[in-house]
Amino acid sequence: MGKPTGFMDYDRAVNPSESPKSRIGHYNEFHPPLDVAERQKQGARCMDCGVPFCQSGISLGGGITGCPLHNMAPEWNDLIYHGNFEESYKRLRKTNNFPEFTGRVCPALCEAACTCGLHGDAVTVRENELFVAENAYATGLVKPCPPEVRTGKRVAVVGSGPAGLAAADQLNRRGHSVTVFERSDRVGGLLMYGIPNMKLEKSVILRRTGIMTAEGVEFRTGVDVGRDLPAGRLTADFDAVILCCGAKNPRDLNVPGRGSEGVSFAVDFLSSTTKSLLDTGLKPGTYLSAKGKHVVIVGGGDTGNDCVGTCVRHGCASVTQLEMMPRPPAVRDSAANPWPEWPRVEKTDYGQQEAAAVFGRDPRLYQRTVKEIVPDEKGRVKELVTVSLMPRQENGRTVMTPVEGSEETIPCQLLLIAAGFLGTESYVPEAFGLATDARGNIATAEGTCRTSVPGIFAAGDTRRGQSLVVHAIAEGRRAAREVDEFLMGYTNLF
């Protein structure tokens, strides 16, 4: 380490943020970067800790701690400090195909496991990663590098989310000919339509996929495999198939009035806004609008927060976010949730900050859910009957139980369901004759990405269930290794 005392000499500093009331006037990213000298200091904070939990990616305390990609953060943080940004990018790309994505949208499992965080503030690993990636683009380090030799093997990748893109990138580097099939009109999967533009500007995705195209990856959009294109065509035309179709089967609300107009799944709502933004600049009538409406969002996760931020930008009359579980503590319980476990603490994200700035209150209501949807005379949602929940233990699990007499009625003209997902859509595994597991995901041999049909592999959310972008990239890389070994008898991918 070039600066052994850096973690003591320099305080943690994060990228500044445009004020909530200013940034809600647009859909662009709103975190301008630190200057280079300050970023080098942040790199210097990475300590010579001996055991870098930041890159572990292990299961601990019921969750993953450290980077699932095993990013060599101590190495490239030290290179940042020394100003060797080119070598830093090379180190970063060894393990992460898309640091420009994870540097924006990853919840930073690495930082939660950072040794500096045990008694102080963690290193800004995610923002350091983003700096390295963007500097590489700005200085011309990122450019197409097609493989010099082709193997003659053809691989089909179904789905162009982070898992599919990672698998395609790895296999193309190896020399296989890769075709990526995407049912939407644009490449990127949930990166494109499921994550709002203010978190991930879509030009970032197009920049990377443009490089992949120049390197030889073929992208075919508007092709719904299993419907438009029979599964048999892929298995006949390609030497291997990787299914990276996501886990897009949404969890619904089973309550009276569910059929009312004005109820939408969160991802459909977010996709509607992003598609309209890209196609028409949000021309009225081209997307599901929250303007002037009292909006209620069921679900307290990242997708729910994205809905909050989007609704505020639409100009909603109010926004309320219902969270079934109790409010997490403000600080880590070091006894029940010790470092380096993922900290189970309350997180106030950008959308909640914006709602508080506009409406004067945090939009979240904890331990509350929808009991009934009440429509007006035209069948449109008018209000909701909500009910409080209390936790109780049942067979060692915490179950949230309605509290009798706690019903409250609140106005609502738009209800967004962000309650998670129940596995992959069934038509894809059915088309390929594949088994699914108890959670609705494509079943694979234990510890592998191999399905029940030889030559067909599954990766990402379609195999493991709804998860993070960083997990999806790791899954795509893993599937690529297995496919390469299947095709060639060995692999030099990692």
Domains of the chain, start order: 6-138 (1.10.1060.10), 154-248+422-488 (3.50.50.60), 263-417 (3.50.50.60)
pLDDT of 1 reads: 64
Contact 117, 111 (CB under 8 A): yes
Contact 484, 174 (CB under 8 A): yes
Alpha-carbon gap, residue 381 to 260, rounded angstroms:
6
Q: Enter the tokens of residue 242.
A: 């990787």
- The 3-class SS string of the chain reads CCCCCHHHHCCCCCCCCCCHHHHCCCCCCCCCCCCHHHHHHHHHCCCCCCCCHHHCCEEECCEEECCCCCCCHHHHHHHHHCCCHHHHHHHHHHHCCCHHHHHHHCCCHHHHCCHHHHCCCCCCHHHHHHHHHHHHHHCCCCCCCCCCCCCCCEEEEECCCHHHHHHHHHHHHHCCEEEEEECCCCCCCHHHHCCCCCCCCHHHHHHHHHHHHHCCCEEEECCCECCCECHHHHHHHCCEEEECCCCCCECCCCCCCCCCECEEEHHHHHHHHHHHHHHHCCCCCCCCCCCCCEEEEECCCHHHHHHHHHHHHHCCCEEEEEECCCCCCCCCCCCCCCCCCCCCCCCCCHHHHHHHHHHCCCCEEECEEEEEEEECCCCEEEEEEEEEEEEEEECCEEEEEECCCCCEEEECCEEEECCCECCCCCHHHHHHCCCECCCCCECCCCCCCECCCCCEEECCHHHHCCCCHHHHHHHHHHHHHHHHHHHHCCCCCC
Phi, psi of 447 (to 5 degrees): 75, 10
Contact 335, 61 (CB under 8 A): no
pLDDT of 359 reads: 98
Name, in order, each residue with C-beta under 8 angstroms of 50's C-beta and a sequence gap of 6 or more.
Answer: none
Q: Is the CA virtual torsion 225, 229, 232, 234 positive or negative?
A: negative
Contact 157, 470 (CB under 8 A): no
Half-sphere exposure of 323 (CA within 13 A, CB side): 19
- From the first residue on, what is the mean pLDDT of each consecutive set of 10 residues in the chain (494 residues)? 87 98 98 97 92 93 93 95 97 97 97 93 97 98 96 98 98 98 97 97 98 98 96 97 95 96 97 98 97 96 96 98 95 92 95 98 97 97 98 88 96 97 93 94 95 97 94 97 98 92
pLDDT of 369 reads: 97
Q: In what order do the strands lie in the sheet with 240-243?
A: 218-221, 177-182, 154-158, 240-243, 456-458
pLDDT of 300 reads: 86
Alpha-carbon gap, residue 370 to 251, rounded angstroms:
14
Alpha-carbon gap, residue 91 to 79, rounded angstroms:
9
Alpha-carbon gap, residue 492 to 173, rounded angstroms:
11
Name, in order, each residue with C-beta under 8 angstroms of 188's C-beta and a sequence gap of 6 or more.
Answer: 160, 161, 165, 182, 202, 205, 209
- At 470, the amino acid letter reads V
Name, in order, each residue with C-beta under 8 angstroms of 8's C-beta and a sequence gap of 6 or more.
Answer: none
Would you say the pTM of this structure is higher than 0.85?
yes
The helix-helix angle for 73-81 and 125-138 (nearest 10°) equals 60
pLDDT of 151 reads: 97
